[in-house]
Amino acid sequence: MAKNEIKYLTAIKQEKPKKKFCRFKKYGIKYVDYKDIEFLKKFVNEQGKMLPRRLSGNSLKYQRKVADAVKKARQMSLLPYVTDLFK
């Protein structure tokens, strides 16, 4: 339709990115358990590196708790420090 013919300087965002929310506030989780690997895997990418806040959508207070839990899990070799495609 007419709109597509118009060339924009920057590409228009096709789909609106879904609103990120802090799952800890929404679900009322207060403690991040370093032994709960399945839950921690949501905050770690394929290489085993921690996701930044802008991707995980956490608030600062809970991102720090997640970071602390992931480091403890790595120390006790529940999570690898670095790996490839371990998800």
Partner 1 sequence: MNNYELMVIFTPVLSEEDFKSAQKKYQDLIKENGGDTVASNPWGLKSLAYPIDKKTTGIYWILEFTGPATINEKLKIQFLRDEQIMRHMITKLDKYAVEYNHIKRNGGFPVHKAVEA
Nearer to partner 1, 8 or 31 (CB): 31
Q: Which is nearer to partner 1, 22 or 78 (CB)?
A: 78
First CA to last CA distance, the chain: 43
**Smallest gap from residue 3 Cβ to partner 1 (A):** 40
Where along the sequence are the contacts to partner 1 (CB under 8 A)? 23, 26-31, 33-35, 39, 72, 74-81, 83
Tokens of residue 16, six digits = 């609106």
Strand, helix or coil for residue 50:
strand
CB of 59 to partner 1, least distance (A): 16
Q: Provide φ and ψ at 55, rounded to 5°.
A: -95, -40
Q: How far apart are CA 43 and CA 49, in angstroms?
A: 9
Min dist CB 12 to partner 1, Å, is 35
